[in-house]
Amino acid sequence: MKIIAYAVRDDERPFFDTWMKENPDVEVKLVPELLTEDNVDLAKGFDGADVYQQKDYTAEVLNKLADEGVKNISLRNVGVDNLDVPTVKARGLNISNVPAYSPNAIAELSVTQLMQLLRQTPLFNKKLAKQDFRWAPDIAKELNTMTVGVVGTGRIGRAAIDIFKGFGAKVIGYDVYRNAELEKEGMYVDTLDELYAQADVITLHVPALKDNYHMLNADAFSKMKDGAYILNFARGTLIDSEDLIKALDSGKVAGAALDTYEYETKIFNKDLEGQTIDDKVFMNLFNRDNVLITPHTAFYTETAVHNMVHVSMNSNKQFIETGKADTQVKFD
């Protein structure tokens, strides 16, 4: 049994090493580069491929994998929006993901970043760097006085809800697919417009679907409370960044914490020190004191990376042995 893993980072290698020791019957090849048309031929002779990337898995790449006899593909992440689904179906590819590598990792960072915004930490850090120890005018807000609107109440959304409740915040939620326990608690509102109107903080935990594209746009911002806070630790395409800038300029939005950006693949996880970033929209957001940007690192904990490697590799092994996997993704 042979599995090839693409885009293996140095920090993932110890977890691959552990998995290989636990599965000595499986031959594993680790490739540091992303899966592309240029290196897909490395998969020839392997039974499965384990992959991770934000770039699209194009029809060309998937067809070449299938041509090499590799039809078992395990993603080391949740999202499947960058897969060419028609090709997946046409070639009969088995796809698995890691649906819950660590909901707490994402939820914890989203709340951490919000607390920095509420406590004016970026402004105080600037002042302290200049030995300015005055308090005013940067007075803080308390989370326990606020209403938090959680859009998407799946695993990550529910983990965030638990943390927000721990701070004493009132929490409301919206989801097309409601959680029975949360519904019993009366937490849901019926429409996004209701959530926008009531929430002081809006946090997004939904996938990137056509229906969700730029769900936070000028129209959505106009329905929010003045001085709302926006948290996006899900997908960059959920927010129209230019409309967010206008909302920040007008004061409609008081601050934002973003772990993802629509065009992040050109920027995130790259060392751009001393280089000019020519994305003016990104730089506008990046240079604001009331916008906190992290480079898609909300997931990046030891627990999460361990789970991403072990769950994906276990699923690939299941595909090879049985044709099915516990985390198989079905495309209807």
Q: Where are the domains of the chain?
A: 2-101+302-322, 103-293
Token reading at 323: 């044709």
**Domain 103-293: CATH class, spelled out:** alpha beta
Token reading at 306: 């361990």
| pLDDT value of residue 81 | 86
Backbone dihedral angles phi then psi of residue 117, each to the nearest 5 degrees: -65, -45
CATH number of this structure's domain 2-101+302-322, picked from the four choices 3.40.109.10, 3.30.1490.100, 3.40.50.2300, 3.40.50.720:
3.40.50.720
- What's the CA angle centered on 39, arms 35 and 40, to 5 degrees? 70
In the residue annotation, 33 being an active-site residue is answered as no
**Residue 223 CB neighbours (<10 A):** 14
CA distance linking residue 255 with residue 118, whole number of Å: 9
Nearest to 6 by CA among 58, 104, 74: 74
Token reading at 12: 């993932």
Out of 76, 155, 158, 235, the active site residue is 235
CA distance linking residue 202 with residue 211, whole number of Å: 18
**What order do you get walking across the sheet with 201-204 strand by strand?**
170-174, 147-151, 201-204, 228-232, 253-258, 291-293
Nearest to 2 by CA among 30, 21, 22: 30
CA distance linking residue 208 with residue 210, whole number of Å: 7
- Which residues are registered as beta bridge partners of 258? 232, 293
| pLDDT value of residue 100 | 85
Out of 76, 205, 296, 310, the active site residue is 296
In the residue annotation, 235 being an active-site residue is answered as yes
DSSP state of 156: H
Is the overall model pTM greater than 0.85, yes or no?
A: yes
Please give the chain's pLDDT, 332 residues, in tens: 999 999 999 999 999 999 999 999 999 999 999 999 999 999 999 999 999 987 889 999 999 999 999 999 999 998 888 999 999 999 999 999 998 889 999 999 999 999 999 999 999 999 999 999 999 999 999 999 999 999 999 999 999 999 999 999 999 999 999 999 999 999 999 999 999 999 999 999 998 889 999 999 999 999 999 999 999 999 999 999 999 999 999 999 999 999 999 999 899 999 999 999 999 999 999 999 999 999 999 999 999 999 999 999 999 999 999 999 999 999 97
Asked if residues 26 and 18 have their Cβ atoms less than 8 Å apart, the reply is: no
